[in-house]
């Protein structure tokens, strides 16, 4: 049986704090997701030096995924929240997300590196309301299309705290991202290329957010 972690934050609560997942009987993991088969964990009796719980956190159900094939299988199987394990994942082909309200994130924000060394886009969100957060995207490339790493159609899309490196849409728009409507929040870019908007095109304009 999996142990159910207790969740604590620093003295200032959730904002800008790294969560601590404390297992019953001692032991903790900083910034790592521990699954107990439930999508919501709540704080409990403090363990060790952990501060009192100040909030609750909703986590994806099920374990994180470790390969392109498993990401693709999860998306095509209807999962609406896919968490990628820390490390580097080599991409072999584009994954098309056809459902709305799908979240793709990293188990430890900023510690997932998706590499498309063979060329091609990583994800296309065809029905809007897609969310991507905490992931590095390297070497995505498309020809005669927009969005070298991500293509996000319709509205209510969000990309946050991601890093885009050496992605290309050589004859199109948005070397890293092409988003018809939505928000870009605290992303980083380096070495991306496009005929228009080297880094991102969102809401009809170039963006470096």
Compute CA distances 149 → 39, 66, 90, 112, 178, whole Å. Answer: 29, 19, 13, 15, 8
Instruction: Please check whether residues 57 and 72 belong to one and the same domain.
Output: no
Same domain, 131 and 36: no
- What pLDDT, on a 0 to 100 scale, did the predictor assign at position 62? 58
- Tell me, yes or no, whether 75 and 54 share the same domain: no
91 and 52 in a single domain? The answer is no
Domains identified in the chain, total number: 2
How many angstroms separate the CA atoms of 97 and 126, rounded? 6
Token pair, residue 105, equals: 């994130």
Provide the domain limits for residue 32: 1-61
First to last CA, the chain: 43
Same domain, residue pair 97 and 51: no
Same domain, 145 and 51: no
Distance, CA of 168 to CA of 183 (rounded, Å): 21
Q: Please identify which residue in the block is written with the tokens 């991500």.
A: 150
The token duo for 39 is 């999508």
Same domain for 91 and 164? yes
For 114-148, the pLDDT digits (tens) are 999 878 999 999 999 999 999 999 999 999 999 99
- For each successive 10 residues of the chain (209 residues), what is the average pLDDT? 35 37 38 34 40 40 86 96 97 96 96 93 96 98 96 96 97 97 97 97 94
Q: Which helix (H) or strand (E) holds 41?
A: strand 40-41
Q: Is the same domain home to 56 and 73?
A: no
């Amino acid at each position: 049986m999996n142990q159910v972690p207790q969740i604590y934050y620093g003295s200032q609560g959730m904002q800008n704090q790294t969560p601590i997942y404390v297992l019953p009987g001692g032991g903790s993991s900083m910034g790592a997701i521990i699954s107990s088969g439930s999508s919501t964990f709540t704080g409990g009796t403090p363990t060790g030096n952990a501060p009192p719980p100040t909030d609750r956190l909703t986590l994806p159900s099920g374990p994180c995924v470790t390969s392109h094939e498993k990401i693709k299988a999860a998306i095509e199987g209807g999962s609406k929240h896919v968490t990628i394990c820390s490390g580097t994942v080599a991409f072999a082909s584009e994954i098309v997300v056809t459902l709305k309200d799908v979240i793709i994130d990293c188990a430890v924000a900023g510690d997932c590196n998706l590499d498309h060394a063979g060329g091609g886009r990583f994800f296309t969100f065809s029905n809007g309301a897609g969310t991507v957060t905490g992931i590095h995207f390297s070497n995505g490339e498309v020809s005669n299309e927009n969005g070298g790493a991500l293509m996000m159609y319709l509205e209510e899309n969000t990309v946050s705290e991601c890093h885009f490196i050496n992605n290309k849409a050589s004859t199109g728009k948005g070397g890293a991202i092409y988003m018809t409507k939505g928000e870009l929040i605290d992303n980083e870019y380096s070495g991306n290329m496009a005929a228009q908007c080297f880094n991102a095109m969102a809401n009809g304009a170039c963006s470096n957010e």
